[in-house]
Amino acid sequence: MDPHRWRLDGQLALVTGGSAGIGRAIARELLGFGASVLIAARNGDALEATRDELAEEFPDSEVSALVGDVADDEQRREILDWIEDRGEGLNILINNAGGNLTKPADDYTEAEWREIFEVNLFSAFELSRYAHPLLTKHAASSIVNVGSVSGLTHVRSGAPYGMSKAALHQMTKNLAVEWAEDGVRVNAVAPWYIRTRRTSGKLADPDYLDEVLLRTPMGRIGEPEEVAAAVAFLCLPAAGYITGECIAIDGGFLRYGF
């Protein structure tokens, strides 16, 4: 077995929304496989704390941090300019940043639902397009989009969130086909409930938690590291013939009928 198939040594990865939760877990996982990682997020204090934590855990690896709101085009360009100035291109792009506001469909203002699309979908599309010239500097590179089971079936997330994630999954398929000839693989993951700060409020309600667990065959909430493991696998050379896929990280939720 070629051990290099299971390593990311010498590769540079950009992880958006990398200061907490799933994004931080993804950054840690990629560092564990030998990659250099740039994390980007809006909250500067949380971002710096995460960078320091990861740098201490992986003293022999390069961990960088850039404050930036990927929903803002100028800040998206600044992040990619920083990478371009390094002169080494980009090997891995993880479009993880996202957000939501849960309401009945009739209650959203236009500004609210458009913001959900801007953060969850348009930022990923534009970052992918801006990163494309940097990704193609290498013979093989990878994009992984963090979608959601809400893009595959109805959950209580609110319609705009589900719509934006469904579009993200479709974007994954389109870019995978368009960019295959450029050596860029594009895949996605679709988590169900994962134990993060964002989900802690709802899961603190014991009745709601019981409902979630009853719909989850494995009978537990997922951990950020379990999403991160799937994301990292999709970036590895060992996954070099996988593109256009969306892997559910859901404890069997999507397969549960009656």
Looking at the domain assignment, is residue 150 inside a domain?
yes
Residue linked to tokens 């201490």: 56
130, 161, 193, 256: which one is catalytic? 161
Looking at the domain assignment, is residue 192 inside a domain?
yes
Range of the domain at 168: 3-248
User: Which residues, in sequence order, are CB contacts of 211 under 8 Å at separation 6+?
Assistant: none
Q: How many folded domains does the chain comprise? A: 1
Looking at the domain assignment, is residue 169 inside a domain?
yes
Tell me whether residue 161 is one of the annotated catalytic residues. yes
pLDDT by residue for the chain (258 residues), tens only, comes to 787 899 999 999 999 999 999 999 999 999 999 999 999 999 999 999 999 999 999 999 999 999 999 999 999 999 999 999 999 999 999 999 999 999 999 999 999 999 999 999 999 999 999 999 999 999 999 999 999 999 999 999 999 999 999 999 999 999 999 999 999 999 999 999 999 998 999 999 999 999 999 999 999 999 999 999 999 999 999 999 999 999 999 999 999 986
Looking at the domain assignment, is residue 258 inside a domain?
no
Residue in 158, 139, 156 with CA at minimum distance from that of residue 215:
156
Looking at the domain assignment, is residue 256 inside a domain?
no
List, in sequence order, every residue forming a beta bridge with 248; answer none if it has no partner: 190
Residue in 62, 37, 243, 25 with CA at minimum distance from that of residue 140:
243
